[in-house]
Chain A
Amino acid sequence: MIRRAFHAAFPPVAVVLALLAAWQAAVWAFAPSEFLVPAPMAVARALRDGSSQLLAAAWLTGLSAAAGFALAAGIGIVLGSVLSASRFLMRGLYPIATLLQMVPLVAIAPLLVVWCGYGARTSIASAVIVSLFPVLAATLDGMRSTDPGLVELFQVNRATRLQRWWKLELPWAIPSIVTGLRIAAGLAVIGTIVGEFVGAFAGEDAPVGILITSALRENRTDMVFAAVFVASAVGFVLFGVVSLLGWVLLRRWHASAR
């Protein structure tokens, strides 16, 4: 068990350590200004000195990202189910959803502030907007690929439409939905931070997005790097939770979880 964990963890850890060493060496060798590229040691110091502030920010951003992700997951799965059940709705709505997905988030983020006001609601809305489409598309694809033979089995046994959805199409689509949720998890954190850039309060309890903008204003590049590190960690945790959920749901019957 420990051996296996070690085998899994060793390659990425080794690569990261090597890159950090190279980075530190390059900073020593070329001595760029602290403002352009901080040394890894400086970033580590920023992480340590700003730890309480960074933790609070991670918590706030994590909450917004998780809320946005959960909303997107719920809406995406329900909407995907509805679209998969109706050819008419799918033909009508799916192209529109695809088009909406092309709208750049950064361009409409200021609009979100107008609609949702300053605060977490804008960040959550922004997270929902970017992470909805992968869930919707994955749900729709998964359900539409349901084995026609199994659909016939349900028809022969006079299943209701709701039984067919709950007992056949939804479980059938879970592997695909989990993949969509994995993608959505990372996007939700990105969406949240974009939302925070335009619509979060600065101050004592500032989320990661605000931490980044204010650190930039103070020329604290080391702090920017530290905040980026924290944001990635938040995304990683969300991704991990989704992967764990997928593993729990699929490990007994699906090849992807073995």
Chain B
Amino acid sequence: MNLGAAEHHVAAGRPAAQQPGALRRIEVAGVGRVFEDGFEALASASFEVPAGSLTVLVGPSGCGKTTLLRMIGGLDSPTSGAVRFLGDAGTLPPPRTAFAFQEPRLLPWRSVAANVALPLELAGVPRGERLDRAASMLERVQLADAGRRLPGQLSGGMRMRASIARALVTEPELLLLDEPFGALDEITRHALDDMLLSLHARLGMTVVMVTHSIVEAAYVGSQVVVMAPAPGRVVATVRPGFAQPTPALRATPEFAAATAGIMRSLAQAMVPAGGAP
């Protein structure tokens, strides 16, 4: 639990890059995790997350994506290697980080607005201010009218958006998303991918997102880290590099080529003889 909430009020609102001592990149350096039962979930994963990027972790079930994301967020510690946060002048303390879990994890007895305001409430932000901030965040995820409803009255996609609004309400420098749209149908997922991209463009935070979907990875990722299982490892880092993805992009040959590239990396890694490092 080391999420650097001490800086909660210091930097709120200003783009991270303008501050002295701002985060430049996150370095995942040879990170491994052997669980207490002796299971090696992750063997030496290395890659870099540039500040302000939207980095996607993609790979088959059980390859250690959640484990890795939790270690980046400080919810778990590596048994080997390290996650470093680097600025111009060396290592920094962990940035303000927010987590959106695989499930919405909303409190069923609270209105959507009160759910979104929860992190601010726990940090002691006064009621009026936190409700204002929750309302404006709900607007950004297109839930402006749902603030007074209860989670039980929302659709799955609306709940997921509420959970993302709750993660964003603290104005994090680092947003960690664990298969945020994994449980949704493809059409809704595409719409939410576009919403995520526009939020990222407007707020400028660093995002690390886990997904099962190669299409989603190619569409939203400024960088895609491809992982393979048994033991979990990073097999390639791909940069689809679509500057401003729009829904029409999904139907283009360039996009097909990008997904094919990711698929090739995955396929190579899955061949047993293909050689674990």
Q: How far is it, in angstroms, between the C-alpha of A149 and the C-alpha of B1 when the chains are bound?
A: 15
| Distance (whole angstroms) from the CB of B198 to the closest CB of chain A | 25
Q: Are B150 and A157 in contact (CB under 8 A)?
A: no
For B108, list chain A residues within 8 Å (CB): 253-254
Q: A150-B107, A253-B108 are in contact. Are A155 and B150 (CB under 8 A)?
A: no
Q: Which of B1, B73, B101, B108 has the most CB of A within 10 A?
A: B108
Q: Are B123 and A157 in contact (CB under 8 A)?
A: yes
Q: Are A149 and B119 in contact (CB under 8 A)?
A: no
Closest to B6 in A: A158
For A147, list chain B residues within 8 Å (CB): 105
Q: How far is it, in angstroms, between the C-alpha of A156 and the C-alpha of B74 when the chains are bound?
A: 9
Which of B101, B109, B122 is A154 in contact with, Cβ under 8 Å?
B122
A119 sits at the interface (CB 8 A): no
Closest to B5 in A: A158
Q: How far is it, in angstroms, between the C-alpha of A147 and the C-alpha of B103 when the chains are bound?
A: 12
The interface size bin for chain B is 20 to 34
| Distance (whole angstroms) from the CB of B84 to the closest CB of chain A | 21
Q: How far is it, in angstroms, between the C-alpha of A163 and the C-alpha of B118 when the chains are bound?
A: 11
B99 sits at the interface (CB 8 A): yes
| Distance (whole angstroms) from the CB of A44 to the closest CB of chain B | 46
Q: How far is it, in angstroms, between the C-alpha of A236 and the C-alpha of B232 when the chains are bound?
A: 61
| Distance (whole angstroms) from the CB of A150 to the closest CB of chain B | 6
Interface string of B1-32 (1 = CB under 8 A from A): 10101000000000000000000000000000
Q: Are A156 and B109 in contact (CB under 8 A)?
A: no
Q: Are B3 and A153 in contact (CB under 8 A)?
A: no
Interface string of A143-178 (1 = CB under 8 A from B): 000010110111111110001000110010000000
Which of A149, A252, A254 is B105 in contact with, Cβ under 8 Å?
A149
Which of A150, A156, A171 is B1 in contact with, Cβ under 8 Å?
A156
Q: Are A163 and B122 in contact (CB under 8 A)?
A: yes
For A163, list chain B residues within 8 Å (CB): 122
Q: How far is it, in angstroms, between the C-alpha of A72 and the C-alpha of B108 when the chains are bound?
A: 28
Q: Are B122 and A171 in contact (CB under 8 A)?
A: no
| Distance (whole angstroms) from the CB of B230 to the closest CB of chain A | 27
B256 sits at the interface (CB 8 A): no
Q: Are B107 and A168 in contact (CB under 8 A)?
A: yes
For A158, list chain B residues within 8 Å (CB): 1, 3, 5, 122-123
Interface hits, B103-130 → A, CB 8 Å: 103, 105, 107-109, 118-119, 121-123
What 15 additional pairs, Cβ within 8 angstroms, besides A150-B105, A152-B101, A156-B73? A149-B105, A154-B122, A156-B1, A156-B98, A157-B5, A157-B119, A158-B3, A158-B5, A158-B122, A159-B122, A163-B122, A167-B121, A252-B109, A252-B150, A253-B152
Q: Which residues of A contact B (CB under 8 A)?
A: 147, 149-150, 152-159, 163, 167-168, 171, 252-254
Q: What are 20 A-B contacts with C-beta separation under 8 Å?
A: A149-B105, A150-B107, A153-B101, A156-B3, A156-B73, A156-B98, A156-B99, A157-B118, A157-B122, A157-B123, A158-B3, A158-B122, A158-B123, A167-B107, A167-B121, A171-B107, A171-B109, A252-B150, A253-B109, A253-B152
| 7 nearest CB pairs, A to B | A253-B109, A157-B119, A159-B122, A253-B108, A157-B122, A158-B5, A149-B105
